[in-house]
Amino acid sequence: MDAFYASVEQRDFPEYRGKPLVVGGLPEGRGGVVATASYEARKFGIRSAMSSKQALQLCPHAIFVRPRFAAYKEVSQKIREIFGRYTDLIEPLSLDEAYLDVTNDKLNIGSAIEIAQQIKQAIKDELNLTASAGVSINKFVAKIASDIKKPDGLTFIGPSSIENFMENLPVEKFHGVGKVTAEKMKKQGLFTGADLKKLSEEDMTGRFGKAGGFYYMIVRGIDDRDVQPHRETKSMGAEDTFAYDLTTEEEMHTELEKIAKIVNERLLKYRLKGRTITLKIKYSDFKQITRSCTIPDNVDDIDTILSVSKTLLAVTDTENSRIRLLGITVSNFLPIETKAKPQTNQLTLFDF
């Protein structure tokens, strides 16, 4: 989806249309962060994860609104229903993004490009929103293609075009290559896919660790990952960014109690129990740390989750610290038995 949160706000509130809109924390607080910016706001350099204060400096006349996640979730479900008319192989990545495998499409349309066009039109007609699609033979290339012509774009990269496309792609455009890795690559004289392609797989792993093996494959357009409609849950958690930095242990414990309650409710909902509890802390200077503890028994009760989280907080020495975000995650779940599913060849996939 194109600038999803901001687009929903502009659709529902006409007074925001055509204006630079920022969805996220308000700039008056000390911990506000941009969740999504409208395309009008992006022209001023405002981007997701930027502090709201910085966003205000870039665009003093920007409008700031808090997220309405219930509304976004409702819209996301309607989008998923549109997807479901064409295929059952849908792998959601977030509220506003998903992979679809349309090798065997339910309406027997026979063309991934036509399916993408129909889905985009249905989203526009029924929800008054725009989406961008990438169509290709695997998830990685489809993902990159979906970002090329935003907003309201559709890009097809066929098998014969993949090699040339990947060679000309700047390294920072590779999905999975973050800012730090991209800078590391550039310092080594690696600026494009063609530069990466010159390296052997051994050289790639030597320079970039396990990720190097992945880069070696995807720079050649090779990605054998299936679309997984029912991905196994690896972790369950919640976090919160605060309007004002937390400075006292009492404030931190109060917020941990709220977060632990949410995590507990989610574990019970999905009938999950885990052994590893991880505490995430982000400080006012944006430094971030995590601390984990693995306990003997699988748990889903709030008392244990909260007790371990408070212990992890205590050992981080928060005295004289200013904390802008806290998060709790439970992982290392009991194994869930699942029936083996037959493997099928993935021929045509696209990413919205």
Domain residue spans of the chain: 4-67, 70-159, 235-333
Please name the residue that has the structure tokens 């992945």: 214
Q: Which CATH class is domain 4-67?
A: alpha beta
Say how many Å lie between the first and final Cα of the chain, rounded.
7
Q: Judge whether residue 341 has pLDDT over 70.
A: no
**What pLDDT does 297 receive?**
82
At the topology level, CATH places domain 70-159 in Alpha-Beta Plaits (3.30.70)
51 vs 56, 58, 149, 241, CA distance in Å?
9, 11, 27, 11
- Distance in angstroms (rounded) separating the CA atoms of residues 115 and 105: 9
Cβ atoms within 10 Å, residue 251: 15
**What pLDDT does 352 receive?**
56
Q: Judge whether residue 73 has pLDDT over 60.
A: yes
**What pLDDT does 93 receive?**
85
Q: Would you say the CATH fold of 235-333 matches that of 70-159?
A: no
Residue predicted with more confidence, 351 or 89 = 89
**What pLDDT does 70 receive?**
87
**Domain 235-333, CATH number (from 3.30.1490.100, 3.40.50.300, 3.40.50.2300, 3.40.30.10):** 3.30.1490.100
Identify whether 202 is a catalytic site residue: no
Q: With cut-offs at 50, 70 and 90, classify the pLDDT of residue 329.
A: very high
Q: With cut-offs at 50, 70 and 90, classify the pLDDT of residue 254.
A: very high
What does the pLDDT average to over 219-225? Answer: 89
Q: Could you report the per-residue pLDDT of 277-299, keeping only the tens digit for each?
A: 999 999 888 888 999 988 888 88
**Considering the entire predicted model, what is its pTM?**
0.70
Q: With cut-offs at 50, 70 and 90, classify the pLDDT of residue 351.
A: low
**What pLDDT does 119 receive?**
98
Q: Which residues fall within 8 angstroms of residue 308, CB to CB, at 6 or more apart?
A: 277, 293, 295
Q: Could you report the per-residue pLDDT of 41-64, keeping only the tens digit for each?
A: 999 999 987 888 899 999 999 999
**What pLDDT does 346 receive?**
43
What does the pLDDT average to over 1-27? Answer: 94
Q: Judge whether residue 148 has pLDDT over 60.
A: yes
**What pLDDT does 260 receive?**
94
Q: What amino acid occupies position 136?
A: S
Active-site entry in 97, 114, 172, 239: 97
Instruction: Classify residue 343 by burial, with Cβ atoms within 10 Å: 0-12, 13-18, 19+.
Output: exposed
Q: Judge whether residue 131 has pLDDT over 70.
A: yes
Q: With cut-offs at 50, 70 and 90, classify the pLDDT of residue 336.
A: very low
Q: Judge whether residue 249 has pLDDT over 70.
A: yes
- Whether a cis peptide bond, with omega within 30° of 0, leads into 151 is yes
27 vs 51, 64, 66, 284, CA distance in Å?
8, 8, 11, 14
